[in-house]
Structure 1
Amino acid sequence: MKHSTESVKAKIKGMNLVDTLFIGKEIKALPSILTPKEEIIAVTKGFYKNGVGLLCATTKRILFINKGLIKLNVEEFPLKYVSSISTESGLMMTKVRIFASGNNAQIERAQKDDARRFVEATSRLIEERDEYKKSDTEEMNNNEGIDVYEQIEKLAALKDKGIITNEEFNAKKTKLLGL
């Protein structure tokens, strides 16, 4: 699905952000940054590397987008490399910390409720990814007693959420069915 500015705005509006001031340019730039198979999971506003911008979690990655007067800056954290995400709350604002192999980031001045929802949604994606990896490893170690059709249904759900690719789904399904 190709993303449009209207569909992105509608998705973000449905997330009921408390603070959207000064991130309109970033929201307008988002459709050109997203791939057709990516789905927006959560967003919040924050301050990173001397600029206010949009922190966006998708089914594939976490993005920090800052649209200056001349240049569009996008920092990307692929979910497959993100080990954890956390918040540190102050009196009024929150810091969002992203821990990824080779690149850690701290997004500051995020609104508390928006940041909390962002971290909760992103943490669920990371947990689902880790559970998929764990189940894959366990299955290779012990293939007895597994309900194959239940496993395929779980894999289909992960594919529908964009956590695994269609190719990964088909390879796993073929392996489970013994074809």
Structure 2
Amino acid sequence: MADEPLRADIQSAADRMDNKLGAKREIRKLVEYLWQGETVRHMVSGTYGGGTGLVVLTDRRLLFVKDGWVSKTTEDFPLDKISSVQWSSGPLTGKMTVFASGNKAEIINVGKQGGKVIADTIRERLASGPAYPPTAPVQQAPAAPAPAQPQQMTQDEAFAALRQLGELRDAGIVTPEEFEAKKKELLNRI
């Protein structure tokens, strides 16, 4: 799996990263978290909610991915829901604060160069209006395994997928009906 080449947009963004510390696994797994047709613009490592992972700016959203061995965490902020972004830097790293739909998220230990580029890109988008297409409906939910994958899941994998699906439901990305249907499917695969 580590020998598998990255998608061109992901490779290009990874090549521009100043530091990949704590985000190499997330870079390799990123394609699993992207929506169909979504394009990666910039990436940087950072810490959010107690975990170090990958901050990704796509053409549709700002996404934080922590793909650990034991747990997986994702948080996304659709670009059309972001009202502002703040950037402050220290000697080695910086802090990005994202305001979206009445919520505030702080991502710390962000690489200085990459973090500033992401913050500036979001600010440019906010100043010029919707330069990117509006957030598309979820076409490929991260919790939904591709049909080519084995049908059976371990109990831990199913529960991790359910947690992730619940986060998507709570964020309003997945409807309660979609959640219930996918939950039933996941439980049947144990």
Q: Same fold (TM over 0.5)?
A: yes
Aligned counterparts, 1:165-176, within 5 A: none
SS at match of 2:26: helix
Aligned-pair distance for 1:67?
1.2
Aligned counterparts, 1:56-135, within 5 A: 56-128=56-128, 130=129, 132=130
Judge which range, 43-52 or 5-14, deviates more.
5-14
Aligned-pair distance for 1:9?
4.0
Structure with the larger helix share: 1
SS at match of 2:110: strand
Relative to the length of structure 2, the TM-score reads 0.62
The one-letter code matched in structure 2 to 1:63 is: L
| CA displacement, residues 139-163 of structure 1 (integer Å, 9 cap, x when unaligned) | xxxxxxxxxxxxxxxxxxx5xxx42
Structure 2 counterpart of 1:29: 29
Which of 110, 120, 133 in structure 2 is aligned with 1:163? Answer: 133
Contact 2:48 2:107 in 1 (8 A): yes
The one-letter code matched in structure 1 to 2:78 is: P
Contact 2:67 2:73 in 1 (8 A): yes
Contact 1:93 1:111 in 2 (8 A): yes
How many percent of aligned residue pairs carry the same amino acid?
Answer: 26
Aligned-pair distance for 1:36?
2.2
Structure 2 counterpart of 1:5: 6
Distance 2:29 2:68 in 1: 11
Aligned pair in 2 of structure 1 residues 11, 36: CA closer, same or farther (>3 Å)? farther
The one-letter code matched in structure 2 to 1:75 is: E
Contact 1:62 1:77 in 2 (8 A): yes
SS at match of 2:11: helix
Structure 2: runs of 5 or more not aligned: 137-190
Relative to the length of structure 1, the TM-score reads 0.66
Aligned-pair distance for 1:38?
1.2
Pairing 1:46–2:46 present = yes
Aligned-pair distance for 1:20?
0.8
Structure 1 counterpart of 2:145: none
Distance 1:118 1:83 in 2: 15
Structure 1: runs of 5 or more not aligned: 133-157, 167-179
SS at match of 2:70: coil
Aligned pair in 2 of structure 1 residues 73, 165: CA closer, same or farther (>3 Å)? closer
SS at match of 1:5: coil
The one-letter code matched in structure 1 to 2:133 is: I
Q: Aligned Cα RMSD in Å?
A: 2.1
Aligned pair in 2 of structure 1 residues 165, 26: CA closer, same or farther (>3 Å)? closer
Distance 2:95 2:10 in 1: 24
Contact 2:41 2:59 in 1 (8 A): yes
